[in-house]
Structures are given as structure tokens and as C-alpha cells.
């Protein structure tokens, strides 16, 4: 296995009562997943935890041992329910300190209005680096392999843009989709045989109903374009032989 064959993995810890109560629909997981794939990193695990320090500590510590990268979203604002920094400092066993550059950035933004509440956004676990970004005066924060990001999607995206090209990754996962008007159970053997024929290729089956009829998209994933295309061709031509009129793409 050459170094470029190594699979780099990441976990996401989503922090916030508002996600677990159903008030807010998370939009960061899918975005981060696609962004990571471009960097050659695979999102392999995610957790959603409430605004409870012990729960954040447990999740971050479990994930940072097991995955190459950990991203957290949420809980880094100025209010009392923003406890991510304190929890992650405890997870690393370091104190919380004011980061001088972060304080400077906030002072430049708020001027004389830099209240104690706003100064909270300059607090970091000791030894952390900032992730400055063009959208927010309050930066993201990196400590070890943990990247602490905002929860508001626009700001999350800006922080990811600031990280673009800076993370070590492997080969991105390529994917191709074949769709057909067919119930997935009809073609279960074909899918299983295709996956078996092409090691390193994953075949996912995603059924849905449209106008009372069963449909399915079959997603073929691999880091190897040749193997992916051969597997997709095997599924496409078998579906065509069955008279199912498959689509090269999503149906």
C-alpha cells in the first residue's frame, strides 16, 4: 500500500440541544462529507450530543483516538449555552486561555463594545491555533486533530474554506450512479455479485417509490476509476438485458 492508498478518516461531533430537540435540521454533515471527500478524507462516523460538558468530552475523546480528524460544529458563541471550548479543553486536560490574536480580531470588530460576553469568543484550549475566516470575527480553533467550527452553516463553510488544501488526505472516493425502475429486491443478486467481482468497490442500493412504482438508484463507489466504471457497466448492461431501460445517473 503506497502512502496515497492510505484511507484518511474523519468524525463529526455535532453539538447542540437544538439539533436533538428537532428544532433545527442539521445541514453541516452532508456538506462536510462532500468537502472532506474532495480533500481525500472519508467521513466515517458522526455523533450528535447535547449542550452537556460530559457528553461533549466523551464524544471528542472517543473520536480523536479513532479517526485521523475530528470536526465539531456548534457551541462556540458568546452565550452561556456555548460550552464547547470548556469541554474540549477538559477533554485534552488543558486550561482555557484567552488567545491574544483572537482578542485582537474581536477588538478590531467590536471596538469599545467588546464586552465580557463577546470576549468569550477569544477563549481557546491552551496550545490551540486559530482558523481565521473571512466571514466571522470569531475564528474557528484547532487543537491536536480536533477542528472546532461554528454551527451556523454559512460560518462553518467559511471556516472550511480557510482549511482548504491544508489537510493531509488520500485518494478521493469516486462514485457513479445507475438508476432503474425496478424494486431493489429483484436485483439483489446482481448487486451482490458485482461487489464480489470488484474488490475495493462498494455498491449501495437506494430504493424509493414514485407514482406507486418501485425505483432504485445503485451507487458504485471506489477510489479506483477503472474498477468503478467496470462495476457500473456490469450493473448497467445486466439491467438493460433484463429490459429495465436503466439510466446512467440518478433516476
What are the CA-CA distances from residue 15 to residues 21, 162, 251 (Å)?
A: 12, 21, 35
Q: How far apart are CA 229 and CA 104, in angstroms?
A: 52
Task: State the number of binding residues for a copy of itself (CB under 8 A).
Answer: 61
33 binds a copy of itself (CB under 8 A): yes
Q: What are phi and psi of 49, to 5 degrees?
A: -125, 155
245 binds a copy of itself (CB under 8 A): no
Q: How far apart are CA 25 and CA 153, in angstroms?
A: 11
Q: What are phi and psi of 112, to 5 degrees?
A: -65, -15
18 binds a copy of itself (CB under 8 A): yes
Least CB distance to a copy of itself at residue 97 (A): 20
Residue 175: closest CA among 213, 215, 217: 217
Strands, DSSP E only, in 16-164?
41-49, 69-73, 96-98, 123-125, 129-131, 140-143, 146-149
CB 76 within 8 A of CB 56: no
181 binds a copy of itself (CB under 8 A): no
241 binds a copy of itself (CB under 8 A): no
The span of 85-93, 95-103, 207-215, 231-239 binding a copy of itself (CB under 8 A) equals 207-215
Of 40, 77, 140, 246, which one interacts with a copy of itself (CB under 8 A)? 77
Of 40, 41, 51, 142, which one interacts with a copy of itself (CB under 8 A)? 51
192 binds a copy of itself (CB under 8 A): yes
Would you call 209 exposed, middle or buried from its count of C-beta atoms within 10 A (0-12, 13-18, 19+)?
Answer: exposed
189 binds a copy of itself (CB under 8 A): yes
Residue 31: closest CA among 157, 214, 208: 157
32 binds a copy of itself (CB under 8 A): yes
Of 31, 167, 172, 214, which one interacts with a copy of itself (CB under 8 A)? 31
The span of 15-23, 84-92, 124-132, 231-239 binding a copy of itself (CB under 8 A) equals 15-23
Q: Contact residues for a copy of itself (CB under 8 A)?
A: 17-27, 29-34, 37, 42-51, 55, 77-81, 115, 117-118, 120-121, 152, 154, 173, 175, 184-186, 188-189, 191-192, 195, 202-209, 219, 221
Amino acid at each position: 500500500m503506497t502512502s496515497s492508498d492510505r484511507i484518511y478518516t474523519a468524525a463529526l461531533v455535532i453539538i447542540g440541544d437544538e439539533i436533538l430537540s428537532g428544532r433545527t435540521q442539521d445541514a453541516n454533515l452532508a456538506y462536510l462529507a462532500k468537502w472532506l471527500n474532495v480533500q481525500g478524507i472519508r467521513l466515517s462516523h458522526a455523533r450528535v450530543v447535547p449542550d452537556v460538558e460530559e457528553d461533549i468530552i466523551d464524544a471528542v475523546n472517543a473520536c480523536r483516538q479513532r479517526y485521523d480528524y475530528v470536526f465539531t460544529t456548534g457551541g462556540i458563541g458568546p452565550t452561556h449555552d456555548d460550552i464547547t471550548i470548556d469541554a474540549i479543553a477538559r477533554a485534552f486536560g488543558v486550561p482555557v486561555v484567552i488567545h491574544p490574536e483572537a482578542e485582537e480580531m474581536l477588538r478590531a470588530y467590536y471596538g469599545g463594545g467588546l464586552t465580557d460576553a463577546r470576549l468569550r469568543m477569544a477563549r481557546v484550549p491552551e496550545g490551540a491555533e486559530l482558523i481565521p475566516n473571512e466571514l466571522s470575527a470569531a475564528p474557528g480553533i484547532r487543537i491536536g486533530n480536533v477542528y472546532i467550527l461554528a454551527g451556523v452553516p454559512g460560518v462553518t463553510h467559511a471556516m472550511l474554506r480557510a482549511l482548504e488544501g491544508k489537510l493531509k488526505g488520500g485518494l478521493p472516493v469516486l462514485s457513479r450512479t445507475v438508476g432503474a425502475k425496478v424494486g431493489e429486491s429483484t436485483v439483489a443478486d446482481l448487486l451482490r455479485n458485482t461487489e464480489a467481482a470488484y474488490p475495493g468497490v462498494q455498491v449501495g442500493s437506494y430504493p424509493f417509490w414514485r407514482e406507486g412504482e418501485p425505483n432504485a438508484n445503485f451507487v458504485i463507489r471506489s477510489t479506483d476509476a477503472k474498477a468503478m466504471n467496470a462495476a457500473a457497466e456490469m450493473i448497467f448492461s445486466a439491467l438493460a438485458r433484463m429490459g429495465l431501460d436503466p439510466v446512467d445517473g440518478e433516476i
